[in-house]
Structure formats: C-alpha cells, structure tokens
Structure 1
Amino acid sequence: MASSCFLTLALAIALTTTTLLLCPTTTLAKRSEELNVIDSCWRWDPHWHKHRDHLASCSVGFAGKMLNNMGGGVTQYKVTDPSDDALNPQPGTLRYGVTQVKGKVWITFRKDMKIKLEKPLLLSGFTAIDGRGADVDIIGGACITVQKVNNVIIHGLRIHNCKSQPAGDVMGPDGNIQHLGPVDGDAIRVVSASKVWLDHNTLYSCQDGLIDVTLGSSNVTISNNWFRDQNKVMLLGHDDEYVRDRNMKVTVVFNRFGPNCRQRMPRVRHGYAHVVNNLYQGWGLYAIGGSMNPSVTSQANLFIAPEGKKEVTWKKNYQDGMSRWNFKSVKDVFENGACFDETTGGDDSGVDQHYTREEAFPVADAKSLTSLTKGSGVLKCSERSRC
C-alpha cells in the first residue's frame, strides 16, 4: 500500500493554505480566458443560441458524444409556463416537454423562472434540457429522475432544496402514467439509465444527495457542475448487495466541490469512476470514498484540505476485501496537507479508463484547475454575446 499521507513534518509545515473565492466566476468567455476542453468546444461561438444543439458534440468521458440529440428530427420545445401538474401537464410547461413531445426533443426556456415540481420529473430518452439564456431554478419540491432511458442531457439548471416525496402516480415518458415509490430528495437521480450527460448545473441544499447514479446505470459523464452546501454529494452505485453496478462507468470531470461539502465526492460501490480535473475546496468526513471493491482513478485533481481533516479517501470494510480494492492517484495536487491513501490490489487492471476515441480527452495539469473550473455551475449567458 502506497500513501501520500506519509509526509515529513517539515514538508507538512511548508504546505500552506490556498485561499479561493467561494463563488465560481461565471463571466462571459473572452479569448484571453482559459477554458477546459468541453467549454472551448462551444463557448467561443458568439452565435451559440443559433447553434444550440452543437453542445451535444462537446461531451467527453463515458457518456461519449451525444450526437443522437442533435441534427434532423429533433423537436425544439420552449418552456413558457413555470407551473406543474404531475398527472396532466399543460403545454408550455417543463413536464409537458419531457413527457408529451414524441421523439427527440431539445428544451429551452423563454424567460427566467422558478419551477416547483409536484412529483419527480421523469425524463424521456433523447431529451436535452438546455437552460442557457435564462435563470432556471428547480426548487423546493420534487426534482429530476432519469429512469430506464438513454441519450439525456441536463445543462444549465439550478437545482436545490429538493424534498423527499411519498409514493404516488406521475406522468412519465410517452405520456404514460407510472407509479413511483417514495424518493429521498435528491437533485438528479439516474436509475437504470445510460448515456447521460450532466453539465454546468449548480446543485445544493437537498434533503438527501445531489446526484445518484444507481441500479445498473452506466456511461455517464458529470462535468462542469458546482456542488456546494451539502452533506451527501454524489452516490455512484445503489447498495452493497446490488452487484449489477459492477458494470457502471462514470466520468467526473471539471467540477467544483465546495464550499461546505461534507462527503461523497463521489462515493462509489462496485463499479468504476474516473475522477479527473476537479477542484476540491475541502471536505468534512472525506472527499472520495467507497465500498464493495470499487475502482477509482483520481487523476490531476486539486485537493485543498480543510483544517483537521487531511485524508482524501474513505474505504468501508477495506480490510475484508483489500485484495480487490483499486484507489489510484495519478498526478493529483495536494495542498494544505491533503493526502491520498492508494490501494491497488496488486495490479492496475481495475484503474484504467479505456476510453474509446469519441470518449477520450486530454487531461489538464491540476495546477490549472482554479482557472479551468471557475465557470463551474450555471453560466450567465446572453443571446447578445458569448457564454
């Protein structure tokens, strides 16, 4: 077992705290500004609002390119009404767009709005929700579920203060009424779904967690989001007994965690997570953790330790399955005494991402992450200028 925790006392004293702004900057992109590989794909375009679906060609990681969400045959749907009816959604509402419009749909918003969902919002496959150009809050009620579908993009939403919900009926994909069991109050739930891209959202203060990827979901990319003010942030893998999650593959890239995130950034069960080029502004219990012998490659992240809690990782029941654990740190940067306990199980076979050509992307130097993640979360976009 190799561990970066074993710093000499002199080196630990030499490490100093880096002070960062608590709010990611979301100013308009300028040519002098350094953008990450996803943002540089579309944010330089001053006419982005005329080419909205070009965004779908910019995703990286295990979701791959979202090319099925663009081009011919896509219905453009604009949300004009912030109200919600879980069983009889009206034209112009968000729920109508994600359940009643047949085929591929690209959803935008006519104006700023706050939407309180009566019941979880069940998305159809081949759906893109694009909040650019409006301030859109999903707030104070139920939130979003991506269940048993594929080819879904969620971009540019503020999702916060989500509440648990009792069991009940709700309008689902293709206009079918579905019965849902109780939900815990997560911002976004990805359940038995694949090819899902969650990008440039701001998520905080939900009753349970912010993002769950569970029950056999895979090929998910979580990028450019801002997570703050939350105990449990991100869960990858349903529970210790659900072995189907061994096939789960998730990329977590260019996100900003903090301030005031306590744990699960992410917590991984069974499957594989590539956690790369993220900025961690402290943690409470831990930053990256897991159980049931998951594989995690932590690559070129910037970890800024809080006072009194320096260890990045947490491993439930590690000693019971230590020969199969894979937690690997590659070119991470550790500040304020942060340290990472590697456990590779005697080989590296479980810690290689093996991206296809359309999934692969260049990994940035961790020292550049303050710049590359400063636009994390919802961007301030205008049709008169670049995002």
Structure 2
Amino acid sequence: MGTDLATQLRALRRDDWDGWYDNLIRAFGGVPEADEERELWNALTEFDRSIGAWDGADCVGTAGAFGFRLTVPGGASVPAAGVTMVSVAATHRRRGVLTSMMRRQLDDVRSWGEPLAVLTASEPAIYGRFGYGAATFQIHAELDTARVSLSVPDGTDAVRLRYAAPADALDTCEAVYARLVPLRPGMLARMPGWEQVGLLDPEKDRDGASALQCVMAERGGETVGYARFRVKPQWEPAGARGSVILHDLAALDPVARAALWRFLFGIDLTSTLVVGGRPVDDDWQYLVSDVRRCVPQVRDFLYVRLVDVGAALEARTYQAPVDVVFEVTDDFCPWNAGRWRLTGGVKGASCVRTADAADLALSVRELGAAYLGGVSLAALGAAGRVREIRAGALAEAAIGFGSVVAPWVPHGF
C-alpha cells in the first residue's frame, strides 16, 4: 500500500521532541518512563538523524538513527547507523508510514557514507522485508545457585573484590569496557553520553529489588573487571530465597570473570542468579556443575543490514581465505543488487562489482545475518536461504565468514 498522502515526513526539530517521543511511548504500550530515563533519551537523541511522520500537527510515526561504531570480525570499528525509536501510531497502520520512514532512513544512511544499519527488533517479522537479518543472539538464564556449584580456574583467589558506588566507579568501568570493544564482533564503541545508560536505575523498574550495586575486581593494583547488579530479597517459610539480578559484567581475562561469577553465586540470602542478554558463548556455562539447572534460553538480538555491500564486506576480515562471487538480490536498496566478488582473508578483503559467474546466490538479508560471524552461511544454505551454484563454494565461504568468538551487543538502544 502506498504512503498516506496526508502524512508528511520531515527531520525532527528540538521543539518536536516531546510529541514525537510521546507517540513512541504510546506505541509501546503507553506506560510513562521515569523522568531520568526520558531526560537521558532526550539528551542522546540525534536530531539531525531522526525523522517523524506528521498528519497535520500530530506526530504519527517516529524513527531515529544513532551514529555508532560497531566492531566487526577482525577488530575494525565500522560506522553503523543504530536504528532506534521506530513506531507508527495505531491510527495510521497499514498506510505505508513505516515503509516510507525506512526508505528515507536507508537513503540517509547511504548519503552519510555508513555501510551498515543495525537495530534490535521489538517484532522480528517486520524488518526482514527491509533487508535486516538476525545476526547476534543472547543467552538468558536463571542459575540455581543453591544446587549448582562453580569450578573456577587457578588464580581466582588472587583477585580482590570491593564494593563501589556505581556512579563513582563509572570511569573505571568504562575503561575496562573500552579495552574489550575491539575483541568481539558486535560490540559498540561508547559514544559520549552512552556511559550513562549503564547507570539508569529508576525505582519503578526495580520490582522489589535493591538499587543498582557495583563490585570491582582488582589485581596487582589494576581494575580488571566489574559487575553491576541488584539483589531482590524474598523469604519463604523455609528461609531466604532471594535473587541476584545481573545488570552488567565485564572483565579482562578468564580469572577476573570467574572471580566475579563466584561472588555473584555466593551472595548471602540468595539462591538464584538471573542473567540476561549475555553472549551465547558466555563462560559461566562451562564453569557450572549442572547447566541444565540454569535453564538457558537463546533469543535473537541485533539485526544487521548492509547498506553498501562492497564497503561492508571490505570492512571486515575473514578467518580463512575467501574468493567467492555473490549474486545479491536487494529489492529495497537496488544499488546493492548484482554480482560482487569478495576476496580476502585474515589481513583484509576486497569486494568489487564483477561480471564473473556467480558462486552463491542470496539476498542482502542473509548477508546481514552472516556478517558478524555468528550465523553460518552453511546453515542458511541448509534452510534454502543461500543457493550454491559452484560446488564447494558454500563451505568455503561459511568457514571464512565465521568468528572465533560469538558476536554480542552488550546493551540495547
């Protein structure tokens, strides 16, 4: 269906923001945010990268794009548009408002010279038609710390732990985070202001848990990790059954991480550790005595869209040599459609237009899913989403596209 002729798109102005954001909140259920949250998102909004759909004086659609830098396989930090705050008023559904905003936004991202667009989807079914593929996944679990034990590596006892006020320790925690960013695909370099997201702690969202707490891990006078968490007390006739709710954990080495996990396991008066949004290869899974009692669940998280196929594929490296011609379909961004020859390896890559015969045929959505190395091209081929034209090409490309560590995005946006 075409765009509603009564609806106009335009860039967001500062005096539009309250109405624009109110439309977003209403679209996500209408529950007001705490003042501190609203103020932070106002401060983080990039007005020149945000658009609204307007029906007269009423805002009926919203979409923004943060200017991020995303770690890709090989460690490069690549410009990426962090698509965010997307909504359409229920009164204006099925009038083409979302499609028109996605069209405008991807044209803008291309004009900004950013080869990637990424988002976290509230409804995954929506974004495939715009070329986004699910590229990272997260693990969620409830660890039964009363029944599950933890086996930690040698040296764990040498790590000193101390409590710190989250705000007071923020700069030190951010320094640890910054050292980790180049080491895992999907990590986001923290842009100014984004460090404050980790401190958001509205009382209305605690659900009976404590205010945010922070523990620092130190060794040899150096901070080597931190954990931010809440404790939710709960009592039953048999005694205490409290929960520890992990907010964030980062460490520079396995020993420091193990020390933090052991601390979280051992907090008095608790018997459950709730972890969410962790990488699918998170190390606690290999330290616990019984992973089944941890009830792990995997969920999709970051969706990746290649806005410029050539630039995006050149920006990352490949863990094995690749020399493959892709036949790419991209109905929404036709400048990507056609044949691309990718050659490269661990030191870099080239991706250029070619008239050579295709080895693999796929859509830009599959390239986005496989881009960070967490989704196998071979698995997509087994599902019929990648078609092998030259025998052996799929296995070769799948190995090259892989990542030694699972891609992971530590927070939403």
Higher relative contact order (CA 8 A, sep 6+): 2
Fold agreement, TM-score > 0.5: no
- Which TM-score tier does this pair reach, normalised by the shorter chain? under 0.3
Question: What's the TM-score, normalizing by structure 2?
Answer: 0.26
